[in-house]
Amino acid sequence: MKSNILIVDDSALLRRVECDIINSDNKLQATDTCKDGLEALEKLRTQKYDAVILDINMPRMNGLEVLSHLQKESIKTPVVVVSTLTIEGADEAIKSLELGAFDFVTKPNNIIEAKGNQFKETLLRVVYAAVRITPAHSASRNLTVVEKKAGAIVNKHKAAGSNKIVAIASSTGGPKALQSVIPFLPAELLAPVVLVQHMPAGFTKSMAERLNELSQVQVKEASNGEVLKNGVVYIAPGGTHIAIKKSGASHVISFNDMPPISGLKPCANIMFDSLTSSNYDEVVCVVLTGMGADGTNGILSLGKSKPIYVIAQDEKSSVVYGMPRAIYEAGVVDEVVTLSDVAKAITKNVGVK
């Protein structure tokens, strides 16, 4: 049976394009469309859908207002928000996640982009995750990674020193999950935190600013050449790979403009790999909710040359149990914890000043 999708957008052209994309997939169907939020809310109150594709800026009732009503009325339909790539659009996208949206995709700038493969593939991937459909190729790709690397020798002995770093990877469901992790880290955390969240360029700055407002630690979008400091969280900018490089007695953020890796930029594997040549005594690796297996190969490679401690989010609290599952099946996870306990597990392993 096909999953029923409601499409909500004030642009007739984009409604048509999104309908065509959804209906091109043999597991999905665009059951209904609405031209504004008020019309959508009425449908959601009376009809059952497996997911909603929701524009933010619409007449009569905007997407954020729709999400607010759904939250108040306990209507649980997964919502994928379509957001413009502007400063205001990025702020609205982050706000939509706080109001219960499942995830967001970037609105195409023109008809050529709207009908292009990138928008189609991104939209289908996120809608699939929202309705909990796993494309046939995804599971086999994850298993291939694990089978190829499972025999790796990993340094699991406890590090003698206290010079540690925390490296976090997250993807689908990550922006919301991070609000249950980063704000609960203590200001005096005895380690810097580097974080790769799969996100388009332009959105990570808004996410960092919002997390900074909520947190005791300082949270910022990473800058090229920036020296890492304890108690600071550095988020890889969307569309940019980050590496950690030695610089004298310190370590700095180094941007890497390689092409996307398996469609991902930033890619967590690059971040983890770069730590193999660092001077840190131990790397606390954290893998949160997300599709695919990004982070697994990087952590396994890192573990050959550096003591690591691996924390994975559990299946029940993960929006998508892909990345945590991949690292768990690789056999190197030290702790599997529910989302609300991730910050506690990090703090326990790096300490507080």
Catalytic residues: 171, 198, 294
Residue owning tokens 């507080």 = 352
265 within 8 A of 239, measured Cβ to Cβ: yes
252 within 8 A of 228, measured Cβ to Cβ: yes
218 within 8 A of 248, measured Cβ to Cβ: no
The DSSP code for 70 is H
Q: What angle in degrees, to the nearest 10, is found between the helix axes of 37-46 and 63-72?
A: 30
In 3D, which of 275, 323, 343 has the Cα closest to residue 303? 275
| Beta strand pairing call for 250-256 and 282-287 | unpaired
Radius of gyration (Cα) for the chain, nearest Å? 20
| Beta strand pairing call for 193-197 and 232-235 | parallel
- Cα-Cα-Cα-Cα torsion 152, 268, 229, 311, nearest 10 degrees, comes to -60
Strand partners, 285: 167, 310
Taking CA atoms, 104 is separated from 41, 82, 203, in Å, by 19, 6, 10
Q: Is 232 helix (H, G, I), strand (E, B) or coil?
A: strand
In b/e form, how buried is each residue of 230-267, taking b as 16+ CB within 10 angstroms? bbbbbbbbbebbbbbbeeeeebbbbebeeeeeeebbbb
